[in-house]
Structure 1
Amino acid sequence: MDGPQPTSRAGGVVATLAFAGTTAAIMQTLVTPLIAELPKMLHTTSSNAAWVITVTLLVAAVCVPVTGRLGDLFGKRRMLLACSVPLIVGSVVCALSSSVVPMIVGRGMQGMGMGMLPLGIALLRDVLPQEKLSSSIALVSASMGIGGGLGLPIAAAVAQYANWRALFWGSAALAVVIAALIWFLIPDVPAGAKGQRFDVPGALGLGAGLVALLLAVSKGADWGWGSATTLSLFAAAVVLLVGWGLWELRANEPLIDLRTTARPRVLLTNAASVFVGFGMYAGMLVMPQLLQFPEATGYGLGQSILASGLWMAPGGIMMMLVSPLGGKLTDARGPKFTLICGVLIIAAGYGLAMALMGTAWGIMLTIIVINSGVGLAYGAMPALIMSSVPLSETAAANGFNTLMRSLGTSIGAAVIGVVLAQMTTTVGGHSFTSEGGFRAGLLIGCGVALVAVAITAAIPAVRRAEPDAEESDAVPSAAGAKV
């Protein structure tokens, strides 16, 4: 295929990319219902089994910005197909695993496929007409949240009523379907940075720095925040990431153009993304525990894993419904306005949770409100990024923005995890997070969302006189004319 496909295929392109993002998110939450059973299933310790979850986060963090840049260099369709390969192989490896090492390898390979989301969002700019772009970006961007919301009850149901290996055989089948859809429905458009060289030292430096940082954040609670290992990893992360930044500023063809990233519009959007990711994950940690804690605590609701997942599923559905509306809001008022609305709704959802956390219906309503805000915010952030960078950097810039969201969720998991672990009560000889601990977690989520509002409010409008801004704003319309 030599160019963008006809407009009649736009719906298939959007559906394929949204399906790919949703499936990638489902794979991230796939093992959540199995956490307690992993040590017995894999004949290992709890600390070793925890790597089944941690490794996916680490590999995705390293691979997402790299695959974004490779998409700019060699074509986004080609890299989307490349991302589907480790998703398929990793799922099969996990399905066949009977010990912890191959399971970790397979889960790491699944993490390699997470670059599909920023690649897909960037590709939309190349192939869609302007009038369809905002709503499509919103839907595809929110697909990660949609998959996360729907993945938990699906995985819980399969784990409860079938063999756990069926989860991974199912994910392998989904990945095969995605690869086929990409092959037949996604147009092959010219690479925006074709002819440039790939920055290998930059990729290695960023990868090493991110691994050190995310290892310290995700495992600090287990190892001890003041332990030599954790502090050494934080120190290594600072040295590696500062060194990486200096290299990128001197490189002629960097992995990520930090000068573009330093533009106020891009910089503040990425900063807001960290806080939005934090805010979203705070609720994902608190709400399932409130639903599943025993009623004897006085605030737990005694729901099973499957039931708690079903109570939370409407939040994922609401995100799917709200995303296209967010695109229309972006067309009418701009992505900055949409992002402010989204984070305000997230903050309002946490405020609502303080009053409604005592019933399952109240928690479901709270999740619906929070996820509505997330759907608006997740659709607006890529639109802000792509209106501020040249066409040759769209995939890399979106990859970096996705990384910022992931960094926010990782920091959120660590901070909220510490709060919930420190504020406890004892019931029937067992220790549980106290009601005050959960309320503190909800207040932190609300506060973080309000910080995101303040950062978003400071994002400057596009100055049309700037050459790059003119180019980036004109590209979607020009590319869309070819569709």
Structure 2
Amino acid sequence: MSEAPQPAATAPVQQGSGRVLPALVLAMLAFSVVQTAVVPILPSLARELHATGSSITWLMTANLLAAAVLTPLLGRFGDLRGRKPVLLLSLAGLVAGSGIAVATHSFGWLVVARVLQGAGGGVLPLAISIVRDELPPRKVTGGVALISASMGVGSGLGLVATGLLIEHWSYKSIFWMGLAFGLVALLLVALRVPSDPVVDRAGGADPLGALTLAAWLSALLVAVSQGNGWGWTSGRTLGLFAVAAVVAAAWVALELKVAHPLVDMSMMARPAVAFTNLSGLLVGFGMYGSFMVISDFAQTPAKVGYGFSATVLHAGVMLLPSALGSLVAAPVGALLIARRGPRLPLVLGALLGAVAMGYLALRHGREGDVYTASGLFGLGVGLAYAAMPAYINGAVPAEQSGIANGMNAVLRTVGGAIGTAVMGAVLTGDTIPAIGLPTLDAYRHAFWITAVGCLVAAVVPFAIRRTATAASAAPAAAGAVPAAAEPAASPEGVRTGA
């Protein structure tokens, strides 16, 4: 039985991109900088906080876990209750977490702070939905591409900023940076982003769906993030993987039955959404994994026969071309999407990532090799991330934009967690006996694994067209008009169909 139609809302007055977009981009940069800034200094933090090497990884695990759980929830609440207030709540969590991190010297409270900072993960789906609602149609594609690519830009800048700050000040300066970024972003969003014209949309919050989603994501990410320390065949690791599988199956069954699911499974099954999410997982695997491997490789003492004896700052500078490449990718990706659709930038971006990491596997003796690979990889990640929201927004109605992009962000986060875990296992599994550092072969294997992951991500988008074509065959045979296999340009500049 269909629901009664909702009253039509008055069409909003669309805002100029010069007013809204900078606030949203800064919000995205604030979260991505905060998320990755601690990665190069985890060993230093372990010494400062008197924590073990296995314990200190919780500063990353806790943040990834919170972001994975909260991102789809905040995206869904934004769809239901208005994007601006939920975006402010997301940034408030980031600010609160940064404030606690500045004030505390306790490892336990620092983990709590990193959990709160994970609320910033809601920025991506909410900002994309706001751009779709508020910007003039001709600027939607470019705005979405810029926000999505900003994740790669901020991640790279965070690594450089960490190196610069840690050379002159204590580790507290890293959290002061996050606090400053968060406060400015919160203020700009409050002042420049308009309130939603409709703040009470049809649907429900689905609390049981939210709890089961949080449960299986938590089990999965803890198992993946702690597997290296616990052992991949240990009872704890295998038990958590089993829990994740069982609860995920229960979550899918639940979402298929409830009247107003948190995540519409029919939406998630659409080829443009499902295969884009798979690409998101693979590209996230490559991005986070490459950051870790390149940083570790650069900081390896040159006396062992490879590496550059780089400081944290120097290693971060080597990754700076990645941030610049992602920045360049935003307008290039928007142009390609507008002219050719999202498949070309998604395929091209993943291919560039594969070429970059394959190049490093073959050539890594000079710093210039790292700079070249870093720039190519950042350009590839930026193109891929710019294309993903275009595919998703073209396949879902506006009222599901937040949750759909939120789930894509979750898959990127899960892919990142898997990437760092796999790279860690590869590097620790083959070490030089006398000093415990990874061998050169271990780094080569890590580079090749990342390259293969990106190559698979480049192949995945072709399945969208094949699946859509097959799905349209039956209605066509019955005399219906088949849906377009490749999304066609819409008036908003994003792509529809698929």
**TM-score (structure 1 length as normaliser):** 0.93
Question: For this pair of structures, how many residues does the alignment match?
Answer: 474
Give the CA deviation at 1:129.
2.4
2:217 corresponds to: 210
Per-residue CA shift, 1:118-138, capped at 9, x if unaligned? 110122111122321222111
Query: Take 1:443 and 1:470, find their aligned partners in 2: how far apart are those partners?
Result: 31
Question: What is the correspondence of 1:47-86 to structure 2 with a 5 Å cutoff?
Answer: 47-86=54-93
Query: Take 1:372 and 1:273, find their aligned partners in 2: how far apart are those partners?
Result: 15
3-state SS of paired residue (1:438): helix
Could you list the runs of 5+ residues in structure 2 that have no partner in the other structure? 1-9, 473-479
1:476 corresponds to: 492
1:313 corresponds to: 320
Residue type at the aligned position of 2:39: T
Residue type at the aligned position of 1:119: L
Per-residue CA shift, 1:210-254, capped at 9, x if unaligned? 000000011011001111111110111011110000000001111
Question: What is the correspondence of 1:433-472 to structure 2 with a 5 Å cutoff?
Answer: 433-460=438-465
Query: Take 1:290 and 1:312, find their aligned partners in 2: how far apart are those partners?
Result: 12
Percent identity over paired residues:
36
Residues 1:471 and 1:309: Cα distance change in structure 2 (over 3 Å): closer
Per-residue CA shift, 1:436-475, capped at 9, x if unaligned? 1111111111111111122111112697967999999758
For the Cα contact (< 8 Å) 2:432–2:438, is it kept in 1?
A: yes
Give the CA deviation at 1:114.
1.5
Question: What is the correspondence of 1:342-361 to structure 2 with a 5 Å cutoff?
Answer: 342-361=349-368
| Equivalent of residue 411 in structure 2, options 404, 410, 422 | 404
1:430 corresponds to: 435
State which drifts further: 245-254 or 25-34: 25-34
For the Cα contact (< 8 Å) 2:140–2:493, is it kept in 1?
A: no
| Equivalent of residue 143 in structure 2, options 107, 117, 136 | 136
Query: Take 1:468 and 1:447, find their aligned partners in 2: how far apart are those partners?
Result: 30
Query: Take 1:284 and 1:142, find their aligned partners in 2: how far apart are those partners?
Result: 16
Query: Take 1:257 and 1:386, find their aligned partners in 2: how far apart are those partners?
Result: 15
Query: Take 1:383 and 1:192, find their aligned partners in 2: how far apart are those partners?
Result: 24
Residue type at the aligned position of 2:435: H
Residues 1:48 and 1:355: Cα distance change in structure 2 (over 3 Å): closer
Residues 1:44 and 1:472: Cα distance change in structure 2 (over 3 Å): same
Question: What is the correspondence of 1:82-481 to structure 2 with a 5 Å cutoff?
Answer: 82-191=89-198, 194-426=201-433, 429-460=434-465, 476=492
Residues 1:471 and 1:368: Cα distance change in structure 2 (over 3 Å): closer
Query: Take 1:134 and 1:279, find their aligned partners in 2: how far apart are those partners?
Result: 25
For the Cα contact (< 8 Å) 1:38–1:46, is it kept in 2?
A: no
Give the CA deviation at 1:5.
4.6
Give the CA deviation at 1:88.
1.2
State which drifts further: 32-41 or 322-331: 32-41
State which drifts further: 282-291 or 397-406: 282-291
For the Cα contact (< 8 Å) 1:390–1:471, is it kept in 2?
A: no
Per-residue CA shift, 1:30-75, capped at 9, x if unaligned? 2223211223322333333221221101111100010000010011
Query: Take 2:241 and 2:271, find their aligned partners in 1: how far apart are those partners?
Result: 27
For the Cα contact (< 8 Å) 2:66–2:115, is it kept in 1?
A: yes
Residue type at the aligned position of 1:325: V
3-state SS of paired residue (1:430): coil
Residue type at the aligned position of 1:138: A
State which drifts further: 182-191 or 378-387: 182-191
Residue type at the aligned position of 2:62: V
Query: Take 1:235 and 1:89, find their aligned partners in 2: how far apart are those partners?
Result: 34
Residue type at the aligned position of 1:448: G
Query: Take 1:232 and 1:191, find their aligned partners in 2: how far apart are those partners?
Result: 44
For the Cα contact (< 8 Å) 2:14–2:136, is it kept in 1?
A: no
Query: Take 1:110 and 1:448, find their aligned partners in 2: how far apart are those partners?
Result: 29
Give the CA deviation at 1:93.
0.5
State which drifts further: 351-360 or 309-318: 351-360
* C-alpha RMSD of the superposition: 2.3
Residue type at the aligned position of 2:458: V
Query: Take 1:422 and 1:47, find their aligned partners in 2: how far apart are those partners?
Result: 16
Residue type at the aligned position of 2:337: T
For the Cα contact (< 8 Å) 2:321–2:378, is it kept in 1?
A: no
Query: Take 1:210 and 1:143, find their aligned partners in 2: how far apart are those partners?
Result: 25
Residue type at the aligned position of 1:458: A
3-state SS of paired residue (1:476): coil
1:481 corresponds to: none
Is 1:30–2:41 an aligned residue pair?
no
Residue type at the aligned position of 1:445: T
3-state SS of paired residue (2:196): coil
Residue type at the aligned position of 2:366: T
Query: Take 1:126 and 1:243, find their aligned partners in 2: how far apart are those partners?
Result: 34
Per-residue CA shift, 1:383-427, capped at 9, x if unaligned? 00010011110000000001111111111112221111112224x
Residue type at the aligned position of 1:214: L
Query: Take 1:165 and 1:468, find their aligned partners in 2: how far apart are those partners?
Result: 53
Query: Take 1:341 and 1:130, find their aligned partners in 2: how far apart are those partners?
Result: 25
For the Cα contact (< 8 Å) 2:156–2:323, is it kept in 1?
A: yes
| Equivalent of residue 19 in structure 1, options 23, 26, 29 | 26
For the Cα contact (< 8 Å) 1:271–1:455, is it kept in 2?
A: yes
